[in-house]
């Protein structure tokens, strides 16, 4: 028992504040936002045929929604804490796995540093407190690399044990693929590593057959899903419109915020230094030691480099790289900073750089519909309507208990249900001509006999609908800014004094 405590007490000391931060955040996170409500809604449809139909149309693979489908019936589905709790468990599991893996392949110092960095990562904190697949993806990715290392680097002697681990590895990689499209990068990194390592022929063949089988089964979902998107403009996806740079993808996991100015210059110098040391490491090492450095390098850098190449600067899409980035930085800190005092001083500086952003995250409501819905319910009248993006209607209606119509902004003329519109187009930036927008807007107003409009949208989008109303002499009474970290503002318009509704409204 004493030996166990001595070996693992740093991990327990890390897990206590890690669990507290995540529990505090999950309690104060706020209402479900669009992505979460999407997962919940399309996991709880009564019909399995409808459920499978939407899972195929959806952009992301369905494993997480499948888990929710079996989990949600046992809890109160309107309780945000209970619905989000599995993500918290997967996040804690990720910290434990990273510590065990780092201590096994590198050192205790690396294990401590990397797992602490993961425990205070704002991205990992966010995904630990939302009902989405990213916490599960992080957990499965670490587990996949852990088992990969055990099978390929350690070469298990016991034949029965070896077979069991290959079967486990197959299911883990299959689950990785079925959790998120970026899971493909996990297999890609492992393939390059195994080619560089040149293990026994039997090991390579086992790896190849295992992942080919997992890929074939993944194609059962992927081929129909991509087929249904051929008629859509894939280049108009919202994530291709994001802005950023490679340095922020690589170093915001350390700073826990977007870096600019002096910090960006400093991190650029650090990046050049680490790149030099990495090349030096790969040249000097041989065999499995060299392959291990390549594995960590690929795991850490492939997702951000691919994201930068594709101009997709969305941090949650590189969540699989975060554990490896922390391993990567901790490894170089451990190897090249021999003085314990200097090592501790540098690590404390990193912690103090990160903590203010952690504090801001856990002490503010991230997102909440409640303020907006409560205001609308208190101020609506018999001739008011609410207009919101069609994608947000289901999420908004979950918390809105008023009596007036909620209209989703959607100008295309089709026979699709609201659910199918959301699944097909939630990721796509639909192009709308001004005349189409005006026709849709004033037809909707006339149809509902509206003289008061509650318009919900972010300040930097949908300005055209504001302008259309103002150009037609509608009066902007008030703008209610978001009280949480939400991007949505509420714009309250009323009709001009000489405005008359159609005769059918009387």
CATH at 485: 3.40.50
Is the same domain home to 336 and 482? no
Conformation bin of residue 256: beta by default, left when phi > 0, alpha when psi is -120 to 50? left
Choose among 423, 396, 420: nearest CA to 407.
396
Q: What pLDDT score does 503 carry?
A: 53
Q: What is the H or E stretch that residue 75 is in?
A: none
In the listed set 363, 394, 429, which residue is the last one of a domain according to the structure? Answer: 363
Quick: pLDDT tens for 328-347.
889 888 888 888 888 888 88
Sign, CA torsion 108/114/117/119: negative
Are 351 and 436 within one domain?
A: no
What is the rounded distance in angstroms from the CA atom of residue 466 to the CA atom of residue 491? 8
**244 and 147 co-located in one domain:** yes
CB 292 within 8 A of CB 198: no
Out of 340, 363, 386, pick the residue that ends a domain: 363
Write out the residue range of the structural domain in which residue 408 sits. Answer: 370-505
Q: Are residues 355 and 398 in the same domain?
A: no
In 3-state terms, what secondary structure has residue 492?
A: strand
Looking at the fold, whether 30 and 129 belong to one and the same domain comes out as yes
- Judged on CB neighbours under 10 Å (0-12, 13-18, 19+), 425 is middle
Rounded to an integer, what distance in angstroms lies between the CA atom of residue 117 and that of residue 143?
18
Mean pLDDT of 419-438: 81
Nearest by Cα to 320 from 291, 300, 339 = 300
Alpha carbons 59 and 232: distance in angstroms, whole number: 12
Q: What is the pLDDT of residue 486?
A: 67
What pLDDT, on a 0 to 100 scale, did the predictor assign at position 505? 62
- 341 CB neighbour count, 10 Å cutoff: 8
Q: Please tell me whether residues 203 and 264 are part of one structural domain.
A: yes
User: What DSSP state is assigned to residue 231?
Assistant: T
- Which residues partner with 406 through β-bridges? 386
Total domains in the chain come to: 2
Instruction: Over range 274-301, report the average pLDDT.
Output: 83
Closest CA to 58 of 341, 423, 394: 423
376 and 303 in a common domain: no
- Could you give the 3-state DSSP secondary structure of residue 120? coil
- pTM of model > 0.95: no
Contact 118, 325 (CB under 8 A): no
Angle between helices 322-336 and 340-363 (to 10 degrees): 150
Per-residue pLDDT, 485: 62
How many residues appear in the chain? Answer: 506
DSSP 371-423: HHHHHHHHH--TTEEEEEEGGGHHHHHTT---SS-EEEE--------HHHHHH
Q: What is the pLDDT of residues 482-503, one digit of tens each?
A: 776 667 889 999 988 877 766 5
Distances in Å between the Cα of 476 and the Cα atoms of 409, 439, 451, 473 are 19, 20, 12, 9
pLDDT at 73 over 70: yes
Strand order in the sheet with 406-409: 406-409, 384-389, 452-457, 489-494, 475-480
Residues 405, 376 share a domain: yes
pLDDT of residue 222: 94
Q: Are residues 384 and 418 in the same domain?
A: yes
For residue 339, the model assigns a pLDDT of 83
Q: Are residues 332 and 445 in the same domain?
A: no
- pLDDT tens digit sequence for 291-321: 888 899 899 999 999 998 888 888 899 999 9
pLDDT digits (tens, 9 = 90+) for 116-156: 999 999 999 999 999 999 999 999 999 999 999 999 988 77
- Distance in angstroms (rounded) separating the CA atoms of residues 24 and 78: 19
Last residue of a domain, one of 335, 363, 391: 363
Same domain, 115 and 143: yes
* 379 and 252 both lie in a single domain: no
DSSP element (H, E) containing 457: strand 452-457
């Amino acid at each position: 028992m004493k030996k166990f405590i001595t070996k693992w007490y740093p991990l327990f000391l890390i897990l206590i504040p890690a669990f507290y931060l995540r529990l505090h955040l999950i309690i104060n996170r706020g209402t479900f936002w669009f992505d979460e409500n999407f997962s919940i809604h399309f996991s709880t449809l009564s019909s399995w045929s409808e459920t499978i139909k939407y899972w195929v149309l959806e952009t992301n693979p369905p494993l997480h929604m499948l888990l929710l489908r079996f989990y949600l019936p046992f809890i109160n589905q309107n309780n945000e804490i209970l619905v989000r709790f599995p993500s918290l468990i997967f996040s804690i599991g990720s910290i434990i796995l990273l510590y065990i893996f780092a201590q096994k392949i590198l050192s205790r110092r690396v294990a401590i540093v990397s797992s602490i960095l993961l425990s205070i990562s704002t991205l990992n904190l966010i995904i630990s407190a939302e009902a989405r697949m990213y916490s599960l993806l992080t957990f499965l990715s670490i587990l996949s690399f852990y088992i990969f290392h055990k099978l390929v680097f350690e070469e298990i002697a016991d034949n029965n044990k070896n077979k069991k681990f290959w079967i486990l590895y197959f299911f883990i990689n299959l689950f990785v693929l079925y959790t998120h499209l970026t899971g493909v990068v996990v297999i890609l990194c492992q393939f390059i590593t195994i080619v560089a390592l040149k293990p026994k022929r039997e090991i390579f063949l086992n790896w190849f057959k295992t992942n080919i089988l997992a890929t074939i089964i993944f194609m059962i979902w992927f081929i129909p899903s991509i087929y249904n998107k051929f008629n859509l403009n894939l280049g108009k996806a919202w994530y291709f419109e994001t802005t950023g740079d490679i340095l922020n993808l690589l170093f915001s996991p350390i700073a826990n915020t977007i870096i600019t100015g002096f910090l960006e210059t400093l991190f650029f110098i650090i990046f050049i230094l680490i790149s030099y040391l990495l090349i030096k490491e790969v040249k000097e090492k041989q065999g499995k030691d060299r392959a291990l450095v390549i594995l960590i390098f690929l795991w850490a850098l492939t997702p951000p480099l691919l994201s930068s190449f594709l101009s997709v600067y969305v941090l949650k899409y590189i969540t699989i790289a975060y554990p490896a980035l922390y391993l990567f930085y901790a490894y170089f800190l451990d190897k090249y900073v021999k003085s314990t005092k200097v090592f501790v001083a540098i690590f404390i500086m990193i912690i103090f750089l990160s903590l203010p952003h952690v504090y801001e995250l856990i002490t503010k409501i991230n997102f909440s519909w409640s303020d907006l819905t409560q205001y609308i319910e208190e101020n609506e009248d018999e001739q008011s309507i609410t207009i919101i993006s069609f994608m947000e209607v289901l999420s908004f209606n979950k918390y809105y208990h008023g009596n007036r119509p909620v209209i989703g902004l959607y100008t295309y003329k089709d026979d699709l249900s609201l659910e199918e519109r959301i699944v097909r187009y939630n990721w796509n930036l639909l192009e709308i001509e001004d005349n189409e927008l005006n026709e849709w807007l004033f037809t909707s107003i006339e149809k509902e006999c509206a003289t008061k409009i509650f318009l919900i949208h972010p300040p930097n989008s949908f300005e055209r609908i504001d302008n259309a109303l103002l150009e037609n002499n509608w009066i902007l009474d008030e703008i209610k800014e978001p009280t949480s970290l939400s991007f949505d503002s509420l714009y309250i318009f009323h009709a001009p004094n000489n405005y008359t509704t159609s005769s059918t409204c009387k």
